[in-house]
Structure 1
């Protein structure tokens, strides 16, 4: 399918399989799918910053200018790579609470598989097929709660933000080579200062090894609190 993309946002038409009107000249040597797949490969191997028209062109053995036969800009490339790399959501279980838990955990897992997805700039509401499918399945699961569409969307944004923030924190902690908070040397330095400086609550947390730089069961705890809050909202319905 081809048509003029006009003033549509970068990547929107291509992500839905709408190709630009073919210009006269030789047949393109590559497909959009090949270029996007190469971009994903670079992201997986080298990180987000490696996804560029110049690098992909060099890998494919063409000039950077030749890439503009396929995509209009780097921004368009990133939109296509992002949507393809995020993939489709899992099939969700019955019941809004079980579905929401599975949905958020699936997002966290996807970010763990491809941490560079967290570096993709957010420029507006999702408009590409796979990203919209994640929204569609979760809104469908929330549809039976009795909440308004506005509130369902608000719940989804809350859950999405939690999954993204948790994944980002896990990524940074996993990549850190700093000395752990509970290391012996840190404790010898910090504990007397907590006691003398008037931090009784933190002192207690530290002594009980509750103050750590590991996420431990924070995912389950956060998920449960968010879902408890949504359940209270549902319970307030007339």
Structure 2
């Protein structure tokens, strides 16, 4: 008898690791989990995260929504599988923890540029699926040479991941905005005198020197360098 762990393990965990449920009696399945996941990724790439649904995938594949439950238990399970597959495998990282961190961050930024809808996938806990854990594995392996504890290395990784997500979210929102840029001529004519008269001398100086803009410019590299400098201080303390 096959043990049913579906109510114990997180949704999608078994399927993500290739553990298939016991085959039910009846006609041979017309679809596969791989087809369903590939269609879900296609919808995400074309229409965004909200389009990844059992109903839309079923219609695309020519089956009823109820038929989908032969392959995945729920929408939550579908999202877990689609997320892990869409993220894919990380790149091979260079030697040296700092160079590895830069490459790891750059690869994630490119991933979110290509698939910004991944930023909308709910975070329900620590990674447990193969590809997400591989991203974790390669960066933790690089950080292992720092001599820091596993706890601190994991904290460093979470800090890097947070920096990526914050930057990617800002980049997406700014890229999608059709608002008039803050450095537009008409905005300047309105804003500058009010900044000066209203007691905002520091902001006014930033504005006049074109340092106050709604573009990210080198924000990613600047923030990453400060994070890496902080990790180096932690390493030097031998904590």
TM more than 0.5? yes
What is the CA deviation profile of residues 185-233 of structure 1, one whole-angstrom value per residue up to 9, with x for unaligned ones? 1001100010001111111100000000000111110110010000000
- 1:77-96 to structure 2, matched below 5 A, reads 77-96=78-97
Q: Which moved further from structure 2: 5-14 or 223-232?
A: 5-14
Runs of 5+ unmatched residues, structure 1: none
Which whole-Å CA distance do the structure 2 matches of 1:145 and 1:154 have between them? Answer: 13
* Corresponding residue number in structure 1 for 2:20: 19
Instruction: Tell me by how many angstroms 1:12 deviates.
Output: 0.3
1:4 aligns with 2:26: no
Q: Give CA deviations for 1:34-88 in whole Å, capped at 9, x if unaligned.
A: 0000000000000000000000000000000000000000000000000000000
Q: Does 1:132 align with 2:137?
A: no
Q: C-alpha separation between the residues in 2 aligned to 1:93 and 1:79?
A: 29
TM-score, normalised with respect to structure 2:
0.98
Could you tell me whether the CA contact under 8 Å between 1:103 and 1:138 is conserved in 2? Answer: yes
Between the aligned partners of 2:10 and 2:123, the Cα distance in structure 1 is 13
Q: 1:25-174 residue pairs with structure 2 within 5 A?
A: 25-174=26-175
Contact kept, 8 Å, 1:3 with 1:18, in 2: the verdict is no
The answer as to whether partners of 1:3 and 1:21 remain within 8 angstroms in 2 is: no
Task: Give the distance between the partners of 1:145 and 1:177, measured in 2 at CA.
Answer: 44
- In structure 1, what is the Cα distance between the partners aligned to 2:157 and 2:19? 29
Q: Report the RMSD for the aligned CA atoms in angstroms.
A: 0.9
TM-score normalised by the chain length of structure 1 = 0.98
Distance 1:71 1:111, change over 3 A: same
Deviation sequence 1:105-158 (CA, Å, 0-9, x none): 111110000000000000000000000000000000000100000000000000
**Partners in 1 of 2:183 and 2:162 — Cα distance?**
29
Q: How does 1:158-197 map to 2 (within 5 A)?
A: 158-197=159-198
Task: Tell me the number of residue pairs that the alignment of Structure 1 and Structure 2 aligns.
Answer: 237
Structure 2 gaps of 5+ residues are: none
Within 2, Cα distance between the matches of 1:226 and 1:107? 16
The runs of 4+ residues in structure 1 deviating greater than 6 Å are none
Alpha-carbon distance in 1 for matches of 2:92, 2:232? 22
Tell me if structure 2 keeps the 8 A contact 1:43–1:116: yes
Cα distance in 1 for residues equivalent to 2:137 and 2:31: 32
Task: Give me the whole-angstrom Cα distance separating, in 2, the residues matched to 1:166 and 1:212.
Answer: 15
